[in-house]
Amino acid sequence: NISDAVLAVEAIAAEDEETGDVLIKADAIFASDALVQIKPTPNPDADPKTSFALGEIDKGKTRINAVRSYPKNTDIEVRYVFHNKAPRVGGGAEVTDARNVAVRVMHSFIEVPENDYQPRRDDARIGFFGEQVTDLTSTEAAPYRDLISRWHLVKKDPGAAMSEPVEPITWWIENTTPVEWRDLIRDAALEWNKSFEKIGFKNAVVVNIQPDDADWDAGDIRYNVLRWTSSPNPPFGGYGPSFTNPRTGQIIGADVMLEYSFMTRVLRARGLIQDPVALAPETLEATYDPAFGTAYCSLGHGLQVNTIFARAAADALYGLDDDLDQQLTRDTMHYLILHELGHTLGMNHNMKATQLLSPEEAFDAETVAERNIAGSVMDYPAINFAPTREQQTLYY
């Protein structure tokens, strides 16, 4: 009683009688939404007068842009063009012409690793991302064998209390990243080594900078890349996706996207001021994505709003000078890196961690130096803004 999904049916163009390999013409599979749903399912309760809607896939304009093959993955880049003959809503600044909207999608085929990785069972009280596995032969009331998402770390010296891993989690700062931010990004990422030392790993996380003459790109899954992006209507301040083996939970590769607008003073939700209709509840509901539901990280949005508040409050209370402004930016960026890297390590959100300290303790430098200001970097914290400049400790 399990329904198999037939994604596509194609004629066999040729067959190798010795190996049994078959050849098909796969263009039509990738130039359609056969593999994965590209166009979001519209919200039936959305008002069509205010919600943007894509048309249908225009087969004549849709193209396979590129096929990139790497040692452990193959990426097929497709430019889907949706045609809407008479759209009611023109869309945002990123939409050039609402009648013909191009969406670029990368289909990745990833080799499943063969190694001695040992899956680890999940406990819902801990807060890991994971793979849902059900034991259909179990007689238990809860036949779940869910597995956490984690990296394959193995000690070089299994008998040592502290050892470097055989293969560390290596990150590369993309060479498009502004030079002035690279040290901050590297130092924040390396902070995670303190946690791995607690379980006996030294230098578990390594950070390098992608050379300008590198012969590889971020599409190669062997490279975990801290990427620098810029969008006219950024959907995030930063986020950290990862790829896992669905049968074991092993994390195979990951990236962290850092949106340039996060570092600016431009409020992402400027529509609240300029266009109230654009961010009305019924409009926001229309942007619901069935592929992700509501389970996405919006930390960057919250941090940016917090930071804008802190700048305005500091300026009003005691004057915002360059030193204070730089500390605020550094603390915010540092926290964003820690949080998004946490996701790539398999960790989910922890929405109670900021209850660690009282307000008095949070503004006491000695307490903050000893205990920090939160129990986890996986929370969505309110900014730790002090009423006076002298009381200010860490913002995050």
Reported as a single tens digit per residue, the pLDDT across 343-378 is 999 999 888 888 899 989 999 999 999 999 888 999
Instruction: Identify which of 200, 118, 115, 204 has the alpha carbon closest to the alpha carbon of residue 159.
Output: 200
For residues 236 and 172, the model is more confident at: 172
Residue 123's beta-bridge partner residues?
A: none
Q: Which residue in the block uniquely carries the two structure tokens 């009683």?
A: 1
The conformation of residue 261, written as its DSSP 8-state character, comes to G
Reply yes or no on whether the pLDDT at 286 is more than 80: no
Residue 352: the pLDDT is 84
Instruction: Identify which of 163, 237, 165 has the alpha carbon closest to the alpha carbon of residue 200.
Output: 163
For residues 92 and 89, the model is more confident at: 89
Reply yes or no on whether the pLDDT at 106 is more than 60: yes
44-58, 105-119, 168-182, 268-282: segment of lowest average pLDDT = 268-282
Give 44's pLDDT tier (boundaries 50, 70, 90): confident
Cα–chain-centroid distance for residue 35? 22
The chain-wide mean pLDDT, for the chain, equals 88
Residue 63: the pLDDT is 96
Determine what percent of the chain is predicted with pLDDT higher than 70.
Answer: 89
Give 266's pLDDT tier (boundaries 50, 70, 90): low
Q: Which residue in the block uniquely carries the two structure tokens 């996380």?
A: 205
Give 232's pLDDT tier (boundaries 50, 70, 90): low
Q: Are strands 12-15 and 169-173 parallel, antiparallel or unpaired?
A: unpaired
Judge contact between 38 and 29, C-beta under 8 A. no
Query: Can you read off the two tokens belonging to residue 365?
Result: 């430098």
State the average pLDDT over residues 170-198: 95
Reply yes or no on whether the pLDDT at 290 is more than 70: no
Give the integer Cα–Cα distance in Å for 179 and 187. 14
Give the integer Cα–Cα distance in Å for 275 and 353. 35
Rounded to 5 degrees, what are φ and ψ at 201? -110, 130
Give 268's pLDDT tier (boundaries 50, 70, 90): low
Residue 292: the pLDDT is 46
Reply yes or no on whether the pLDDT at 270 is more than 90: no
Reply yes or no on whether the pLDDT at 198 is more than 80: yes
Give the integer Cα–Cα distance in Å for 203 and 242. 21
For residues 49 and 108, the model is more confident at: 108
Judge contact between 177 and 257, C-beta under 8 A. no
Q: 83 CB contacts (<8 Å, ≥6 apart)? A: 55, 56, 57, 58, 61, 99, 100
Residue 279: the pLDDT is 46
19-28, 171-180, 344-353: segment of lowest average pLDDT = 344-353
Give the integer Cα–Cα distance in Å for 339 and 335. 6
